[in-house]
Amino acid sequence: MSSLPTFADVQAAARRLEGVAVRTPLLENARVNDRLGGRLFVKAECLQRTGSFKIRGAYNFLASMTEADRRKGAVGWSSGNHAQGLAEAGRLLGVRTTIVMPADAPALKVANTRASGAEIVLYDRVKDSREEIGLGIARKTGATVVPPYDHPWILTGQGTAGLELAEQAKALGVTLDAVAAPCSGGGLSTGVALGVKGVSPGTSVHAGEPAGFDDLARSLKSGRKESNEKLSGSICDALLAPTPGDVTFPLAQTLLGPGLVVTDEEVLDAMEVAFREFKLVVEPGGAVALAAALTGKLPVAGRAVAVVCSGGNVDHATFIRALSRERPAA
């Protein structure tokens, strides 16, 4: 694809996903609004099919393939949410899937991926290259590689979450000042930006990342693709891509405002607030945009702001850790 994807591509993806993806709610909480001095809306993609937004891009990709290619199967790599989304999309469309997953991926995500019928190949996140393993499988089997974020079909599928968000806000009579979404390789954040700006061009869109893995924020500042020094070490296991994508980065430069960076401690606080106030189970990587709003890194005071809580596939120990913390000041 020689040109960058457009809002029309997001609209086309929405048509493919009709009846497949859940139209997740846009939630608001009076106590949280009073605390922040503005209106904060939460797009609850943790309630999406497979527990995250990833079914959107994976299904859009497989549905866009030729029937001949679908018969040869699909292979992908993921720490968990893309794995589950791709496996479930394959089950729905009758496509055989193989997923390359890190050995330290949350057990819940591995189990759910296997439950959708995918074959799983484990690798060492530090020593091995998931891309090399996946490409090797594709060469041997003829399967199509379905990347986790860096493809127009993937990011425009994810963008349907932004399209829905903007339409839901408009139906409420709300003009959003800003929207933020979690970011690993940039598929969700750039897709959401396409969807939001197609409905509300004046709304700024931002990507949220964990501290130490803020390659997109640094790349947007420098004007070139930056890489993270480490490959692991954040509680946000879903957001550890080493560098922005070749497709997502130029789109990010066009559509996104400055990046938002939050600590693991701030993420844990956000998970607790999501549960206590919004009655949502949100995994660490899914809570980074909410954390940015709650800490004021994404200002809410006097404004209308929406954040995407992108996934809810959290292991028991991590969730207990979040809920056991001292409550943030109201």
**Enclosing H/E stretch for 304:** strand 304-309
Contact 207, 256 (CB under 8 A): yes
CB of 247 closer than 8 Å to CB of 283: no
- Which of 200, 219, 234, 310 is an active site residue? 310
Helix (H) or strand (E) holding 21: none
CA 91-94-96 angle, to 5 degrees, is 80
Q: Which of 43, 54, 197, 297 is catalytic?
A: 54
Query: DSSP character for 231?
Result: S
Burial of 3 (0-12, 13-18, 19+ CB in 10 A): exposed
With residue 226 as reference, give the H or E element that holds it. Answer: none
- Strand-pairing partners, residue 314, are none
Q: Which residue in 215, 210, 190 sits closest to 264, CA to CA?
A: 210
310 is catalytic: yes
Q: Name which of 107, 59, 289 is nearest 120 in CA terms.
A: 107
Amino acid at 263: T
Q: Comparing C-alpha atoms, which of 149, 190, 17 is closest to residue 88?
A: 17
Active site residue 225: no
Just list the catalytic residues: 54, 310
